[in-house]
Structure 1
């Protein structure tokens, strides 16, 4: 076994604190890489607090992981020692079901994909531990190549915030000639703006905060709508082809659905703790669709990383020390981050 150190939550009531544990030995198909940076996702906080479902403790969060390879298994073909590497929200799947064979491992039909943390390995009993740690061992098929061209720390959030917004925009073929609204300007939202603009869409940011307009325009958004202003909402009603909803707090789905054109689609990628309340008439009046999307498959995530390297797209980040993670969660809840915290794992 490989000794590892991390920050972990021992239960849903306690803050993260230093913790030592063991990773599995590197098998013939595994890649081990030392973690250099790990992004801080809102879902990390949701999971250590049992907001969505009972967690597996001790819990080491973190699924926006980048680092450098230090060991590979005998049968590994695509990685070598010294390569930059990354791992996102999943570390395994059955690899055999219809979805897995179509590069949709995130929708694995045999028990779901194995999540990077707060999950069990395919044996159903060994917990997975995430990126708030110094090293990780992952099967080759779930390790991603990271370009040397990109700022490594700012690349880390692409492994979740990036692919979570890239995938639905690609799936619904959002691009030139489309009016795209991005609901919420946080870790996910700011990436949605960057990708929407890069794909050629006319992008509007929807936000309750007028203070975010300058940032939205700086990121490339063409328009900004303050959703707490009834007059601005009235003017925007029935104007968007797509709304990408990145908000994880409770919000009025019906009001936002009213902003869609006929045949428009609202795509949910944020996960509020409480179920949405959607009136049937909000969908019937205009043949509108309410859809969802979860991260992306491994092939699409690599495609996204390659696209980012070609177009120099990374996240806007603030680098933090590991010891400041609890304080960073508090700031994240207040929206006091532009736009993603990233932990420098050298401070572990």
Structure 2
């Protein structure tokens, strides 16, 4: 024990409160997976609310999240955990669930029987699952430096612009970070050496993703009801609470307009909307006790490291996109809301 303590004493040790979204059947210890601080988790989650439209469009094959099992699987959970990192951070690895063809759908690299593959490098990508240091990447720096949505894209695919400015909403000093942790560095792996392993994890609570989503949706809808009333203007009202349809384009528009402010949904528009601290609270509330509004805790599944393909499956939840006249009416309502807000801003100018 003295030797073990002395080996750790020479390393920099950092405890990170992290959040992790993934299919429950893959386990919740983030072996060959990505985690995030709360703002990084908010970014990961909020950027994908347009998928019911995106994945039904002719852009579906270009959208990784339409096939991302950490977005579309039917048994998604969110885990809050404390990661202890030993030593310096390394290069961030993009870790994705492998598909039934034993391929990482993002990079196209073979998975060699693993359930997850971690990939480093751009534009030339390489398998870095054997990398030991925990990787870290500031999302604001990585995704926030682009020019944003342009008018050509907005005219053809306006919904693809709605979530782009989430990266600036979640920005802040020392925030908005993603982490990668591999089997090579996991201190809980069979035969792992305390002298060379780089991370361990303690699970605080696991909750169903649907319950977590409801916490966020309710916070956004309640803020809107007190300020702008966008959701109430959608044609398929009521659009909030248990009867909400998160695949309805008018609901999606209202959600982003409330979170980011309507200007941010247009090319060149500034980010405003509801205070980000309310989002912080909504994303963390599911992990409180149930008596305090938290979600029911889910027991952790048995971990069977290393996960080598035996648990792999492919599932996809249905988004339930509106069709025909309903879809057209919903898009018209979203466009009308946007036009009214533009006119109101002009009157105030």
Is the TM value for this pair above 0.5? no
Name which structure has the greater RCO, CA cutoff 8 Å, separation 6+: 2
More helix by share: 2
Larger radius of gyration: 2
TM-score w.r.t. the length of structure 1 is 0.26
TM-score for the superposition, normalised by structure 2: 0.26
